[in-house]
Chain A
């Protein structure tokens, strides 16, 4: 992998950089295999804005406009151009996945085109092993450090209340039963590995029902899976039925929360999928909740970001545009479905199976949020990160496909979908509605949103544990979650108001109770920056009070 062949022009002098919240800078632009580096001319002044290091992976879209000054200079003219004497120049607009928009004025048409081409190519390399996490070697981290917070094995070992009825199965040790599951999964004790193999053939992608949460207060569990492959002729699978029966054990009833509408579930049978019919799963009651996924979510994000960035119509119909993007209604659906799930477990005292079709998107969204609602252990900083590790990374959310592009990209949409971002938004809504109950801060959510789309760490690389194992992610990259916990910024990822509560935190899901996550979607506005600073100030205050008073 020679990055240099993609870099025709590595350095350009006399470039003007315009970025939100800062005055324009003039300096040197440098392109490397993974970064765009801009250095201010007056570096010695020590201004933090003097240097900008941008991960190329963070770039979602590049727009260029070249001009020949002798020709039609008026068309693209921007302040600063007049000073230049060269015959031609160009402007590159860089739209990032973290929603930042930068502009580079580059002297020399050819240089400008070279730079743009380099960025275009290097920002969307497909080969995992060429990505930056494999090259990132900060001095404070060691590749021998622990990777990840916990493994399925450790998680099982610690959850002793499970041991009676549940066992850890290594049936997937070589990823052959289910390529998107981790090596070890928790299943009912009485279900043998053979039965698991058979049950896996009856679930899309081999994702047979596995345990993801046990509610300590009443022993009820959440299991998740992919849809059953009943198909048009209503196939059955004895092992799958036995497995689910074993999940509820002696209890007489369990719920299936299907994240599709009843109609969609019916239609899925035409393409080989299906649902748990009443006749075959008599102990299970199905509840359908239609959740948008895939393209619909991505388009919603695009509309929202477009509305947020539209400065022409400051007042004009902003609320309508926000509504039309439907983003907040996706937030609402996710939270209310999670609330339904938590209600089944906590209030109704039933175990629940969650799935949609593939079981890697809305299924994870709902199961994660339900755990946040019910389990105080998931609401600490460590607990939340461990939850994400279990329910998203190990559970096989295809990060690489979903987060390949964000809202600005001109590339044709393939598998992109902001499910994880939606999760973070929902977590933020919880954080806002329960200012004391969550141990982490908005800064953490923002950081995670950034890292999911472009990262120096290996955590969100690839689409499954299997792919990570093949690529050697554990051995050759650093772990984001470990880095966050050890970071000297760790404090800023904690909620200074945090007070553990054992109670479930039931979110209000009325549209009046949901807000646009301004911290993310309007992040590059001065007002949001001020608010961030105020949050930081409040944290420092409390830390300092406690320090002195306790001393």
Chain B
């Protein structure tokens, strides 16, 4: 008996609105498909799935405007595939009408989520023509003048994920504005920088005209702005793009003065500028008008972090896919893994973030940039913030972190992922965000009690990074999102997540508000994220997830009961006192730690 290939974490993509099947025949095979509200059936067809693990499997495929669903008809081989069309990067015809050999005529589908799918059809009568064309249209709606599914879905959730992140509120949580840092609305109409959010925090002493002059000297006008401030020592993380130094070594007094204002704000002798790129790349960028801060920036030191660009990362992940799908490389697994360099890149990103976090902890402000400041910069600032600020390690705080450092600051999700776009070979595509989530996963492995969320959240995020079911990861920047009314017309991924949070909670979470996490970025302590990258292979899977998740749910329930009882006890002890601070782990009802950082979350199991 073959094991089902249905994904172990299919819940991440599940849907809950049942549908009425068209006819009895469908009902038999495709009756267990739960379509989303707003999801329409387009076509179904008898087909053979060439399963890399079970061989050819006969069954039926259903294409909707959201997904490709396959169910085997042979009762002995239970195979189910449920793939959002958004996960497809390439659809190709395999074989021709005259191809010989069994199952040589059909479709070859490359996915963005580390798998390929092959289907075979009958050779007679152009049987694949309709399904190929439909798949091609619906998998790449933007290339065909159609709308992304996020604009068609009618799904409703109890929570509204669009309200998770409010920039002003987040600044206030950090203690801003204060007498050194002010909030500016200069970018209200995206006039200063079209890839930045509207609300920015800048040095108190800087004037609006200064900002404009600095913008002229920074690539794509992405000026240095505050991402995070350390509550005690007032050291800040500032992000930006590269200065436009160019071949001639241009200088800009305003930019120099502006960076010095950042340093002055917490009165340290030196400002550290982390350039995420390898030194040589930074030099090479001068040829195209870019560059890095030179000696003219007094009171500043520049450190290169040696992180490779999007192209290197893309190729690295491609190599990784080659050794894990469809067949995993068994004979020289570790050296093959080494030759992909994927873990090495993870290591460099993590160790860069550690340096940033460490510098800030020691009271020094830092500026982080790469070339445009929307890939490596986002990785570094967000990971450093995750290490520094325990708030971002909560379920909602993590959502804020992604909304803030990635989405609002213009990580080019549309270009990097290629939502709804047929140009699979587009050189702009790159798994930068996947790499970030991988780094987060490495941290959760190293600190099993420090994160409120579990691995399922990370998997869910990555699944919907591609699915196009939610508006969260669509478009390249806020101005584009405004233009396409994403917040009005689509559902946020956080609506789904926050409507059933107990699926995403780590029962062992222990909040420690002041704790800075320094993961070890040594190769010896990094692991390949097998449960993501190799999750499609049924042979690699470990103990059935369901009992483990069941046990974790029980533990969550136990913890809740414990907290309830504890509260009762404390109330009966001293009716006037609030939750006494017990040394015991305690998450849900605990309303954070230090009063100003307080962030009230109502935790009721749904």
Interchain CB contact (< 8 A) of B548 among A319, A328, A436: A436
Interface pick from B104-112, B198-206, B295-303, B519-527: B519-527
Q: Is the CB of A315 within 8 A of B551?
A: no
Q: How far is the CA of A531 from the CA of B442 in the complex (A)?
A: 13
A315 close to B344 (CB less than 8 A)? yes
Shortest C-beta distance, A262 to chain B (Å), equals 21
Q: A527-B520, A534-B448 are in contact. List 5 more A-B contacts (CB 8 A).
A: A510-B333, A511-B330, A525-B520, A541-B508, A549-B565
Given contacts A314-B522, A434-B542, contact A512 B508 (CB under 8 A): no
Using an 8 Å CB-CB cutoff, how does the interface string of B317-343 with A read, 1 for contact, 0 for none? 000000010001010111101100001
Decide if B208 is an interface residue (CB 8 Å cutoff).
no
**Assembled-state Cα–Cα distance A315/B341 (Å):** 11
A534 to B447, CA, bound (A): 7
Flag whether B17 is at the interface (Cβ < 8 A): no
Chain B residues contacting A542 (CB-CB under 8 Å) are 555, 558
Chain A residues within 8 Å of B, Cβ to Cβ: 308, 314-315, 317-320, 322-323, 328, 433-437, 497, 499, 501, 505, 508, 510-513, 515-516, 518, 522, 525-527, 530-531, 534-535, 537-538, 541-542, 544-546, 548-549
Expressed in whole angstroms, the Cα–Cα distance for A511 and B530 within the complex equals: 11
Binds A, one of B75-83, B188-196, B394-402, B533-541: B533-541
Contact A512 B530 (CB under 8 A): yes
Given contacts A308-B524, A527-B446, A548-B565, contact A511 B333 (CB under 8 A): yes
Q: Which residue of A lies closest to B450 (CB)?
A: A534
Contact of A518 among B330, B525, B540, B565 (CB under 8 A): B525
CA A408 – CA B99 in complex, angstroms?
62
- B537, chain A: closest CB distance, angstroms: 8
Give CA–CA (A548, B584) in the complex, Å.
Answer: 12
**6 contacting pairs across A/B (C-beta < 8 A):** A308-B524, A319-B523, A433-B543, A527-B519, A531-B448, A548-B565
Q: Does B585 contact A (CB under 8 A)?
A: yes
In-complex Cβ contact of B446 among A317, A435, A531 (8 A): A531
Q: Find the B residue at minimum CB distance from A545.
A: B562
List 7 tightest A-B contacts by C-beta distance, closest first.
A511-B333, A323-B334, A319-B338, A545-B562, A527-B520, A318-B523, A319-B334
State whether A512 touches B548 (Cβ < 8 A). Answer: no
B interface, size bucket: 35 or more
Contact B332 A534 (CB under 8 A): no
| Chain A residues near B534 (CB-CB < 8 A) | 512
Residue in contact with B334 in the complex, picked from A320, A436, A527, A538, CB distance below 8 Å: A320
- The chain B residue with its CB closest to the CB of A308 is B524
Contact B524 A522 (CB under 8 A): yes
Contact between B547 and A323, CB atoms less than 8 A apart: no
| A435-B548 in contact (CB<8A) | yes
Q: How far is the CB of A326 from chain B (nearest CB, A)?
A: 11
The chain A residue with its CB closest to the CB of B554 is: A499
Which residues on B sit within 8 Å (CB–CB) of A527? 446, 519-520, 522, 525
Asked if B218 lies at the interface with its beta carbon under 8 angstroms from chain A, I say no
Q: Which of B328, B335, B338, B555 contacts A512 (CB 8 A)?
A: B328
Q: Which listed residue (A317, A434, A497, A546) contacts B338, Cβ 8 A?
A: A317
Complex CA–CA separation, A516 to B510 (angstroms): 27
In the bound assembly, the distance between CA atoms of A508 and B541 in angstroms comes to: 7
> In the complex the two chains form, is B333's CB within 8 Å of A512's CB?
yes
Chain B residues lying within 8 Å of A497, measured Cβ to Cβ, are 551, 555
Report if A545-B540 is in contact (Cβ < 8 Å); known contacts: A315-B347, A317-B338, A534-B448.
Answer: no
Q: Whole-angstrom distance between the alpha carbons of A433 and B566 in the complex?
A: 34
A508 touches B542 (CB 8 A): yes
State the CA gap A541–B523 with chains docked (Å).
31
Q: How many A-B residue pairs have CB under 8 A?
A: 119
Q: Which residues of B sit under 8 angstroms from A499, Cβ to Cβ?
A: 547, 551
Contacts of B527 in A (CB 8 A): 515
Whether A505 and B449, one on each chain, are in contact in the complex, defined by CB atoms closer than 8 angstroms, is no
Tell me whether B508 and A530 are in contact (CB under 8 A).
no
Report the Cα distance A525→B523, complex, angstroms: 13
Q: Given the interface contacts A527-B446, A548-B565, does A541 sit within 8 Å of B510 by beta carbon? A: yes
A525-B520, A534-B448 are contacts. A508–B540 as well, Cβ < 8 Å? yes
Q: Is the CB of A522 within 8 A of B530?
A: no
User: Given A315, A531, A548, which contacts B523 in the complex, CB threshold below 8 Å?
Assistant: A315
The reply to whether the CB of B168 lies closer than 8 angstroms to some CB of chain A is no
User: In chain A, what residue has the closest Cβ to B582?
Assistant: A544
Q: What is the CB-to-nearest-CB distance from A303 to chain B, in angstroms, rounded to a whole number?
A: 13
Q: Are B449 and A534 in contact (CB-based, < 8 A)? A: yes
B561 within 8 A of A: yes
The distance in angstroms between the C-alpha atoms of A211 and B537, with both chains bound, is 38
Q: How far is the CA of A327 from the CA of B344 in the complex (A)?
A: 22
Q: Are A323 and B332 in contact (CB under 8 A)?
A: yes
Instruction: Check if B543 sits within 8 Å of A437, measured CB to CB.
Output: yes
On chain B, the residues within 8 Å of A510 by CB distance are 328, 330, 333, 539-540
B41 on the A face (CB < 8 A)? no
Decide: A314 near B523, CB < 8 A? Known: A510-B540, A512-B540, A542-B555: yes
Identify A436's interface contact among B335, B343, B547, B558, CB under 8 A: B547
Tell me if B359 counts as interface (CB < 8 A to partner A): no
B341-360 vs A, CB cutoff 8 Å, 1 = contact: the mask equals 00110010000000000000
Any chain A CB within 8 A of the CB of B528? yes
Residues of B within 8 A of A328 (CB): 334
User: Once the chains are docked, how many angstroms separate the CA of A108 from the CA of B494?
Assistant: 68
Residues of B within 8 A of A538 (CB): 448-449, 508
With CB as the reference atom, state the residue of chain B lying closest to A551. B565
Chain A residues with Cβ below 8 Å from B449 are 534, 537-538
Provide the residues of chain A in CB contact with B314, threshold 8 Å: none
Which residues does chain A contribute within 8 Å of B343, judged by CB atoms? 319
